[in-house]
Every structure is written in structure tokens, then in C-alpha cells.
């Protein structure tokens, strides 16, 4: 594994679009990493996120953040004034690719499967239900906002 670069990101736009949408959905503010050290390139050229620690209601350096239904990260992960590293990486993506990737993949997330995912991650039933509800609302809001772009 090695740190990626603009050439890697440009060669792997389809995978990068999936990573971007997964990061928006999971509210992963630290997907790229401060030193571009969370989004790496494998020896086969594929991209790989190695540290999802800043996802959902967790902050990358510890502590909590709200995991809410509004996917502000659709914009903030692309805003160089808010998230300069992620904006540099995801800036190689165009809206049509993001939109088509979202329409192809996000509807595949079914409530029952998402709930099982959270439950198997060690959350109690109440927290799993809460995360599932928010996850599904975020998914729907992402699709709605992308349709309006």
C-alpha cells in the first residue's frame, strides 16, 4: 500500500465515486486523512480506505459528533475551505458520475441488512435502530439532493 496521488484518483474515478458516497453516507469526515494517509493505493492500482474511524457519530481523534439525516458532506467534502484534503481528492469527480453511481448503488441498501450490519458491529438494539433510521434517511436525502443538482 502507498499514498495515492492525483493520477491514481483520476484513473479510479468509479471507485473514488463509491468511496465519496460511502463517506457522505457514513459521515466520514476523515476519509482522506490529514496527510492523505487514509485513502491508499494498492499494488494493483485500486483505491482502499484504511481508517474509517471518523465515521457515523465518531470523530477521527476520539469523541462524538452528531450523526444526523442531513448529508451536508455532499458539499463539505468538496469544499476546499472546509475539507481541503478531501476536496483535492474528490475534486476529480464530476456530478454525472457521482449521480449515476449513487443511483446504481445506494438503493441496494435495504433497511433489514443495514440494521443487521449495525447490530453485528456491537451496538445494542436501540442504537442499531437509531443508526439504521438515520442511515436510511441520509441515503434518501443524498438521492434527493443529487436529483436536484
Give the tens place of pLDDT for each residue, 2-50: 888 889 999 999 999 999 999 999 999 999 998 999 999 999 999 999 9
The cell numbers describing 92, all together, are: 476529480
Alpha-carbon distance of 30 to 42, in angstroms, equals 19
pLDDT digits (tens, 9 = 90+) for 68-125: 999 999 999 999 999 999 999 999 999 999 999 999 999 999 999 999 999 999 999 9
Nearest to 32, CA basis, from 18, 17, 50? 50
Residue 49 carries which DSSP code? Answer: E
Alpha-carbon distance of 57 to 5, in angstroms, equals 29
Amino acid at each position: 500500500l502507498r499514498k495515492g496521488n492525483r493520477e491514481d484518483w483520476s484513473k479510479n474515478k468509479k471507485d473514488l465515486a463509491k468511496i465519496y458516497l460511502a463517506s457522505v453516507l457514513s459521515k466520514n469526515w476523515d476519509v482522506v486523512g490529514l496527510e492523505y494517509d487514509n485513502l491508499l493505493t494498492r499494488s494493483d492500482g485500486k483505491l482502499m480506505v484504511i481508517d474509517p474511524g471518523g465515521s457515523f457519530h465518531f470523530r477521527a481523534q476520539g469523541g462524538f459528533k452528531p450523526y444526523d439525516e442531513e448529508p451536508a458532506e455532499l458539499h463539505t467534502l468538496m469544499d476546499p475551505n472546509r475539507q481541503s484534503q478531501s476536496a483535492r481528492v474528490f475534486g476529480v469527480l464530476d456530478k454525472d458520475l457521482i449521480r449515476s453511481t449513487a443511483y446504481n448503488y445506494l438503493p441496494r441498501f435495504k433497511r433489514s441488512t443495514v440494521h443487521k450490519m449495525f447490530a453485528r458491529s456491537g451496538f445494542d438494539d436501540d442504537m442499531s435502530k437509531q443508526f439504521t433510521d438515520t442511515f436510511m434517511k441520509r441515503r434518501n436525502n443524498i438521492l434527493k439532493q443529487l436529483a436536484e443538482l
